[in-house]
């Protein structure tokens, strides 16, 4: 998924909801209350120390402030986490907790251990300059776009928060060592977007007249600081950006275990993915073969061997890809996909859609581009009536026309429908709206990427299986293409960080085996260098949902109700997928 989040020092690990049998009675167990109060105290302290995190979670008490990101402040954060982990083992009697609270306890302690491991082995404040951009621009953007506070108050808070940007720049200069070159290059482009945001775009989002107070003065100071930062990035940091972006086999294996929390090793994930890629490619061939005579009347089907089957799939996708929009219509094209998808979900009783619908489709701001073509930033869990943002990114303006054309062949009319299913209905937007309803504070602020991405990928096939598109083979072929992308993501993730896969080899994997356009493949390779383990969450999560669905449907037999199953699954929050078999009977 492509959610913009302030991961800070505590990785967003997982969320869980209680089963109906575990829902606390009028007077919950004393140990459950102790645990709940302890987490509340912890979270209050986190919000006070990390205002950007508080805003992202929907707590607006500190919207006028910004984090202290100095090395000294971050060292104190780590020390507090170590003390907290030790005290939790003695302050809470695990055996006296209800099962629901026990899983909450496991989620919280897991996220704390992940934070400690990351600080020692994968410290993004030292190697990833993009991190500081989350505080420089994202923290103000979400304050203005994803809050239910009165507009005037949001503007006042934004003005005060912007005044702290020079301190963030100073912290970046003091902390960054020798980051990988690609991360510095992306930061340089994003920082230009941040400068543009504070020069003009912010007034549009704030609904203020350009150049007026209270934004004008702090924005001018921010622009000055960011222009100086731009010069530092280009002239000082870039020349010494010689760091290694590959995590290495040992660290990757441990980080993947912590990220997935699914009981799978790195070697197991890539082995399962390799087998699944072969299966999906065969299915794509069957669909492409059925399309052949309609797309290429009179032209003989290529030979039925490995090369011929891939040629058949590629030719069909190339021809279907010609039906696409333009850079200036991308957002409107995405909006046009929504009505039919929502109507289908209601008619087929896939699940109950959130009402009112607070999902807005926007063009991705320039300071967030360079990682993915789309994302869903959900309403904050503590401010659930705020807007959710489904953002799509047009290709960069400096791309030549031929490369822009390949982008739109990738995100053509059929693929845009699959993308909207994944990001919004019934994918990320719907799932995270369900997740925000649960009263458990642990489950509201900690979440599992494998659950979120797995659900979104699961819905792509499920919607077509239930009849969306009335059997349109173009939609089916693109759904399979989108799915094999998720499968190959896991393979790419592993081999880029563990097996020294070259860019040329990665390009062959994505273009030759995944049938991606060159522009999409180049972007995905860049993304693999900018992150580690996240690309594996799509496939692992989808596999868990698919297996759960099959097992539950077999056991329920004729009584199986798809809509009720979906709502049951989503009622448990965005939890580690390993808990699903226990919770969904």
DSSP 282-318: HHHHHHHHHHHHHHSTTPPPPPSSHHHHHHHHHHHHH
Kindly state whether residue 293 falls inside one of the protein's structural domains.
Answer: yes
Binned at pLDDT 50, 70 and 90, residue 405 comes out as confident
Task: Round to whole Å and give the CA distance between 446 and 140.
Answer: 22
Kindly state whether residue 254 falls inside one of the protein's structural domains.
Answer: no
Helices and strands of the chain, counted as H and E runs: 28, 3
Kindly state whether residue 78 falls inside one of the protein's structural domains.
Answer: yes
Site of tokens 């290429």:
296
Binned at pLDDT 50, 70 and 90, residue 18 comes out as very low
pTM of the model: 0.92
Structural element, H or E, at residue 551:
helix 537-556
Domain count, the chain: 2
Task: Round to whole Å and give the CA distance between 399 and 403.
Answer: 6
Residues 238 and 270 occupy one common structural domain: no
Phi, psi (rounded to 5 degrees) for 399: -70, 140
380-418 core/surface letters (b: 16 or more CB in 10 A; e: else): bbbbbebbbbbbbbbbeeeeeeeebbbbbbbbbbbbbbb
Structural element, H or E, at residue 529:
helix 518-530
Residues 275 and 411 occupy one common structural domain: yes
Give, as one character, the DSSP assignment of residue 361.
E
Residues 351 and 229 occupy one common structural domain: no
Q: Which of 52-61, 438-447, 565-574 has the least mean pLDDT? A: 438-447
Residues 369 and 388 occupy one common structural domain: yes
Last residue of a domain, one of 200, 215, 249: 249
Degrees, nearest 5: CA angle 426-431-432? 135
Q: What percent of the chain has pLDDT over 90?
A: 86
Query: Which residues face 289 on adjacent strands?
Result: none
Kindly state whether residue 58 falls inside one of the protein's structural domains.
Answer: yes
Residues 33 and 113 occupy one common structural domain: yes
Query: Which spans in 349-448 are helix H?
Result: 401-410, 413-423, 428-435, 441-445
Binned at pLDDT 50, 70 and 90, residue 27 comes out as low
The sheet with strand 374-377 has its strands ordered as 359-363, 388-392, 374-377
Kindly state whether residue 242 falls inside one of the protein's structural domains.
Answer: yes
Residues 193 and 48 occupy one common structural domain: yes
Kindly state whether residue 5 falls inside one of the protein's structural domains.
Answer: no
Degrees, nearest 5: CA angle 141-442-56? 5
Task: Round to whole Å and give the CA distance between 73 and 66.
Answer: 13
Residues 272 and 233 occupy one common structural domain: no
Site of tokens 């607070």:
358
pLDDT score of 4 more than 90: no
Task: Round to whole Å and give the CA distance between 350 and 27.
Answer: 36
Kindly state whether residue 9 falls inside one of the protein's structural domains.
Answer: no
Question: pLDDT tens, 234-245?
Answer: 999 999 999 999
Kindly state whether residue 412 falls inside one of the protein's structural domains.
Answer: yes
Give, as one character, the DSSP assignment of residue 146.
S
Interval 346-360 mean pLDDT: 97
Cβ atoms < 10 Å from Cβ of 304: 10
Those residues whose C-beta lies under 8 Å from the C-beta of residue 504, and which sit 6 or more positions away, are none
pLDDT score of 24 more than 60: no
User: What pLDDT, on the 0 to 100 scale, is given for residue 62?
Assistant: 98
Question: pLDDT tens, 474-504?
Answer: 999 999 999 999 999 999 999 999 999 999 9
Question: pLDDT tens, 109-119?
Answer: 999 999 999 99
Residues 245 and 267 occupy one common structural domain: no
User: What pLDDT, on the 0 to 100 scale, is given for residue 192?
Assistant: 96
Q: What percent of the chain has pLDDT over 70?
A: 95
Residues 284 and 240 occupy one common structural domain: no
Domain that residue 275 falls in: 260-583
Reduce the DSSP state of residue 393 to 3 states and report it.
coil
User: What pLDDT, on the 0 to 100 scale, is given for residue 499?
Assistant: 95
**Ramachandran assignment for 446, one of left (phi > 0), alpha (psi -120 to 50 degrees), beta (any other):** beta
């Amino acid at each position: 998924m492509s959610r913009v989040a302030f991961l800070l020092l505590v990785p967003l690990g997982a969320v869980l909801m209680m089963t109906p049998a575990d829902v606390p009675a009028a007077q919950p167990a004393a140990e459950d209350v102790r645990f709940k109060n302890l987490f509340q105290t912890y979270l209050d302290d986190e919000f006070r120390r990390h205002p950007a995190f508080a805003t992202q979670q929907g707590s607006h008490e500190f919207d006028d402030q910004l984090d202290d990101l100095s090395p000294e402040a971050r060292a104190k954060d780590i020390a507090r986490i170590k003390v907290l982990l030790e005290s939790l083992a003695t302050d809470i009697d695990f055996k006296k907790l209800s099962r629901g609270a026990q899983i909450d306890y496991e989620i919280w302690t897991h996220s704390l251990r992940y934070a400690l491991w990351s600080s020692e082995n994968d410290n993004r404040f030292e190697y990833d300059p993009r991190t500081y951009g989350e505080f420089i621009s994202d923290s103000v953007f979400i304050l203005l776009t994803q809050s239910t506070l009165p507009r005037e108050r949001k503007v006042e808070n934004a003005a005060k928060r912007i005044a702290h940007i020079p301190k963030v720049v100073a912290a970046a200069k003091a902390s960054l060592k020798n980051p990988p070159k690609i991360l510095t290059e992306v930061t340089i482009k994003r920082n230009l977007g941040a400068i543009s945001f504070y020069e003009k775009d912010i007034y549009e989002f704030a609904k203020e007249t350009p150049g007026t107070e209270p934004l004008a003065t702090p924005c001018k100071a921010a622009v000055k600081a960011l222009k100086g930062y731009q010069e530092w990035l280009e002239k000082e940091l870039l020349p010494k950006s010689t760091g290694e972006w590959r995590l290495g086999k040992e660290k990757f294996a441990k980080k993947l275990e912590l990220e997935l929390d699914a009981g799978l090793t790195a070697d197991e994930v890539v082995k399962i993915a390799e087998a699944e890629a072969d299966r999906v490619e065969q299915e794509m061939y069957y669909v492409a073969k059925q399309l052949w005579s309609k797309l290429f009347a009179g032209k003989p089907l290529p030979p039925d061997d490995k090369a011929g089957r891939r040629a058949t799939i590629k030719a069909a996708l190339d021809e279907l890809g010609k039906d696409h929009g333009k850079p200036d219509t991308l957002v409107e094209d995405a909006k046009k996909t929504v009505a039919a998808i929502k109507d289908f979900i209601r008619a087929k009783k896939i699940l109950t859609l959130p009402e009112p619908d607070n999902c807005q489709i926007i063009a991705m701001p320039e300071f967030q581009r360079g990682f993915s073509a789309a994302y869903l930033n959900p309403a904050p869990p503590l401010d659930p009536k705020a807007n959710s943002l489904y953002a799509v990114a047009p290709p960069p303006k400096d791309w030549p026309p031929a490369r822009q054309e390949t982008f739109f062949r990738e995100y053509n009319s059929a693929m845009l429908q699959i993308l909207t299913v994944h990001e919004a209905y019934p994918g990320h937007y719907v799932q995270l709206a369900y997740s925000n309803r649960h009263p458990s504070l642990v489950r509201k602020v900690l979440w599992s990427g494998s659950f979120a991405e797995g659900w979104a990928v699961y819905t792509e096939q499920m919607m077509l299986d239930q009849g969306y598109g009335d059997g349109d083979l173009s939609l089916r072929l693109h759904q399979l293409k989108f799915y094999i992308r998720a499968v190959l993501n896991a393979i790419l993730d592993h081999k880029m960080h563990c097996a020294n896969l070259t860019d040329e080899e990665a390009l062959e994997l994505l273009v030759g085996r995944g049938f991606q356009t060159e522009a999409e493949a180049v972007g995905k390779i860049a993304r693999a260098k900018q992150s580690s383990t996240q690309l594996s969450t799509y496939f692992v999560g989808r596999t868990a949902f698919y297996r759960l669905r099959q097992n539950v449907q077999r056991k329920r037999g004729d009584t199986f109700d798809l809509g009720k199953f979906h709502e049951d699954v989503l009622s448990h929050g965005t939890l580690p997928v390993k808990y699903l078999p226990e919770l969904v009977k």
